[in-house]
Homo-oligomer: A and B are copies of this chain.
Amino acid sequence: MSGKDTYKDLLKTGNLKSTKHRNALLETLEQSGLPLTAEELFLRLKEKNVSISLSTVYRILETLVDKGFVIRSQLATGNKALYELSHKDHHHHLHCVRCRQIFPVDGCPLEDYEQLLADRFGFTVTGHNLEVFGYCEKCKDHKQDG
């Protein structure tokens, strides 16, 4: 499940060289399953004894976003960007405002809406971002707390 060249073919489709940094970063994103910040990735790579510069993490992420292999998102409140693999099906996340946990939710409620926008406004939709805030099951009872 974990090799140096696991993502060689994927990278090749983007005309990108297969480097240990790119493979390790992609593997880390895959193992996470949840979106991570550049710094979180940097730290997880360190734990795996992958020596890498934070600049390189950012550079690799930028490249992978350009190629469409990675999705970048940014919370309205948060200051750091989040990155996750895009090879999974399109989906969204629930953000618990108390414990900060992120819950992925399969599927998307916006397909009909995008068609409506095309019909009514002549707007050709190419993508969207949706983030939902609230209290997760464990935190809903503490809704009043600080």
Name the CB-closest residue of B to A97. Answer: B126
A4 within 8 A of B: no
Copies of this protein in the complex:
2
Identify A114's interface contact among B74, B127, B132, B143, CB under 8 A: B132
Are A133 and B137 closer than 8 Å at their CB atoms?
A: no
Identify A105's interface contact among B110, B121, B126, B140, CB under 8 A: B121
Query: Within the complex, what minimum Cβ distance (angstroms) separates A12 from chain B?
Result: 26
Query: Within the complex, what minimum Cβ distance (angstroms) separates A61 from chain B?
Result: 13
Are A130 and B128 closer than 8 Å at their CB atoms?
A: yes
Name the CB-closest residue of B to A108. Answer: B113
Query: Within the complex, what minimum Cβ distance (angstroms) separates A101 from chain B?
Result: 11
